[in-house]
């Protein structure tokens, strides 16, 4: 079945890979402190690609103080559904340059994988959509809209503003978000649940000012000591989250511990924490991480008791958990558990809704069939432990639309890390799967 589409994708693929490499060469880091003109250059390059693919009404979508998004559309036959294809063109910072085997913004092919920042997160999503559209050679079976965001890596800060400003333009029957991952290479996966997120900065004060550690040590707790004790109360001895009142879900086990050890890169001899299946712990249970600590660096340490210290704490939420309630539970726990009467100040930070997608209906049937044909095996449903704010934003604004979350990253893609990569066979399969699904949606 669909041999015409398979042949078309095979013919297109060298050009698609070249276009992905061209996009990767643009360092479109959207984080503060990086050159915003590079994100604009990436948007312009994406716009040019949509225009070259024959799309209509191609333009930048811009609001004051935002990185630009890109939009294009193609009408389908009368009465056919409209499918919105989402990706994002901004990328994470490269991180330590010395940890990259090849430069992050110079794409390099090795052993069937393309390496470079954005290869799998998420400039490959742009290429997937372009390839699926072009496979029909100008005769699309459904209406298509393409929306490529420029702020996903900074939490889609203005996405709701974009949706409000361009609500009618983005309205669709089906929304396909190509910014997820397969469980592993060769296993097509649809993401059906996402954890939410809240975070905060907690600051501890134990002294009005620094004092000599030899004079007051032993009677006055330093702030780092107190902060360490407070952070330790966030987990029990088993490593499970100890903040009361948080929801916990359960997911079946898909892989054994050895597979997960290799997949996540846990160091030799380090135990997993928590309880329940590993999939439950990563996808549908809360988790707390200490992301950063402000304290004197070791190289600058002197013999003094540190008066203040602070840490950024991130709490991932199970589907169904209200972020506001979770924030209050976290703040209350931190305020109640400061040791030795240490003063605590908690500054609330970001929040994002957890989400569980309805994975039934015509759109899911079409994509599961497309995945099965492209990969030669049935797809599976998986969760993701991370948070993707635009899923809940789209769902709230377009409640009648079916939302699908897919991608071609895998357990070797090193998302957000050095040596990010995409498997080129998986990328080709992803293009074909979306094209087949679009064909089936027209039936």
Per residue in 240-250, pLDDT (tens digit) is: 999 999 999 99
Residues 29 and 35: their CA atoms lie apart, in Å, by 7
Per residue in 19-29, pLDDT (tens digit) is: 999 999 999 99
Are 317 and 286 in a shared domain?
yes
pLDDT band at residue 385 using 50, 70 and 90 as cut-offs: confident
pLDDT computed for residue 391 by the predictor: 86
For residues 151-163, average pLDDT? 90
pLDDT computed for residue 181 by the predictor: 93
Are 276 and 172 in a shared domain?
no
Among residues 352, 374, 402, which one ends one of the domains?
Answer: 352
Per residue in 294-306, pLDDT (tens digit) is: 999 999 999 999 9
Residues 161 and 260: their CA atoms lie apart, in Å, by 38
Where does residue 363 fall: left (phi above 0), alpha (psi -120 to 50 degrees), or beta otherwise? alpha
pTM above 0.85, yes or no: yes
The more confidently predicted of residues 390 and 259 is 259
Number of folded domains in the chain?
A: 2
Among residues 333, 352, 371, which one ends one of the domains?
Answer: 352
pLDDT computed for residue 199 by the predictor: 95
Run of H or E residues at 193: strand 189-194
pLDDT band at residue 50 using 50, 70 and 90 as cut-offs: very high
What's the Cα-to-Cα distance from 209 to each of 54, 137, 235, rounded to whole Å?
A: 66, 71, 30
> What DSSP line would sit under 19-44, residue for residue?
HHHHHHTS--B-STTS-HHHHHHHHH
pLDDT at 18 > cutoff 90: yes
**354 neighbors 194 (Cβ within 8 angstroms):** yes
Run of H or E residues at 423: strand 421-423
Return the DSSP state at 54.
T
Are 162 and 83 in a shared domain?
yes
Are 88 and 100 in a shared domain?
yes
pLDDT band at residue 163 using 50, 70 and 90 as cut-offs: very high
pLDDT band at residue 66 using 50, 70 and 90 as cut-offs: very high
pLDDT computed for residue 348 by the predictor: 96
pLDDT at 390 > cutoff 80: no
Run of H or E residues at 12: helix 3-24
Structural domain boundaries enclosing 363 = 3-194+354-441
In this structure, are strands 113-115 and 108-110 parallel, antiparallel, or unpaired? antiparallel
Are 333 and 364 in a shared domain?
no
Angle at 155 between CA 382 and CA 159, to 5 degrees: 100
Per residue in 186-240, pLDDT (tens digit) is: 999 999 999 999 999 999 999 999 999 888 889 999 999 999 999 999 999 999 9
61: domain CATH number is 3.40.630.10
> What DSSP line would sit under 280-306, residue for residue?
HHHHTS-EEEEEEEE---GGG--SEE-
pLDDT computed for residue 54 by the predictor: 95
pLDDT computed for residue 156 by the predictor: 87
Among residues 322, 352, 382, which one ends one of the domains?
Answer: 352
**129 neighbors 178 (Cβ within 8 angstroms):** yes
For residues 11-23, average pLDDT? 98
**291 neighbors 313 (Cβ within 8 angstroms):** yes
What's the Cα-to-Cα distance from 164 to each of 319, 397, 400, rounded to whole Å?
A: 25, 8, 16
């Amino acid at each position: 079945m669909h041999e015409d589409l398979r042949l078309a994708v095979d013919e297109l693929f060298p050009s698609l890979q070249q276009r992905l490499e061209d996009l990767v060469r643009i360092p479109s880091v959207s984080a503060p402190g990086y050159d915003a003109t590079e994100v604009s250059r990436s948007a312009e390059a994406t716009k040019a690609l949509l225009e070259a693919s024959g799309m209509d009404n191609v333009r930048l979508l811009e609001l004051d103080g935002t990185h630009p998004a890109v939009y294009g559309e193609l009408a389908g036959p009368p009465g056919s559904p409209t499918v919105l294809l989402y990706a994002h063109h901004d990328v994470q910072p490269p991180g330590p340059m010395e940890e990259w085997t090849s430069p992050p913004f110079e794409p390099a092919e090795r052993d069937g994988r393309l390496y470079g920042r954005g290869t799998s997160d998420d400039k490959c999503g742009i290429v997937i959509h372009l390839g699926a559209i072009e496979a029909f050679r100008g005769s699309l079976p459904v209406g298509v809209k393409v929306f490529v965001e420029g702020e996903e890596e900074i939490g889609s800060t203005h996405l709701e503003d974009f949706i409000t400003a361009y609500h009618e333009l983005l309205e669709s029957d089906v929304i396909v978000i190509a910014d997820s991952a397969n469980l592993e290479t060769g296993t097509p996966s649809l993401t059906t649940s996402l954890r939410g997120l809240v975070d905060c900065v907690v600051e501890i004060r134990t002294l009005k000012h620094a004092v000599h550690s030899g004079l007051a040590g032993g009677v006055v707790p330093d702030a780092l000591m107190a902060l360490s004790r407070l952070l330790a109360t966030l987990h029990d001895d088993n490593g499970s989250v100890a903040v009361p009142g948080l929801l916990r879900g359960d997911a079946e086990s898909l892989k054994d511990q050895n597979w997960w050890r290799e997949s996540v890169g846990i160091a030799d001899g380090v135990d997993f924490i928590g309880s329940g299946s590993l999939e439950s712990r990563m996808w549908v249970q809360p988790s707390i991480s200490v992301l950063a600590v402000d304290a004197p660096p070791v190289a600058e340490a002197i013999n003094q008791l540190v008066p203040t210290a602070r840490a950024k704490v991130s709490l991932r939420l199970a589907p169904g958990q209200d972020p506001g309630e979770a924030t209050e539970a976290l703040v209350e726990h931190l305020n109640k558990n400061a040791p030795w009467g240490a003063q605590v100040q908690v500054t609330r930070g970001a929040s994002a809704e957890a989400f569980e997608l309805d994975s039934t209906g015509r759109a899911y049937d079409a994509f599961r069939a497309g995945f099965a044909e492209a990969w030669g095996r049935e797809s599976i449903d998986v969760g993701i432990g991370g948070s993707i704010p635009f899923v809940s934003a789209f769902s709230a604004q377009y409640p009648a639309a079916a939302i699908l979350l897919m991608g071609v990253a895998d357990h070797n893609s090193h998302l957000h890390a050095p040596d990010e990569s995409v498997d080129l066979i998986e990328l080709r399969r992803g293009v074909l799967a979306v094209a087949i699904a679009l064909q089936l949606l027209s039936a």
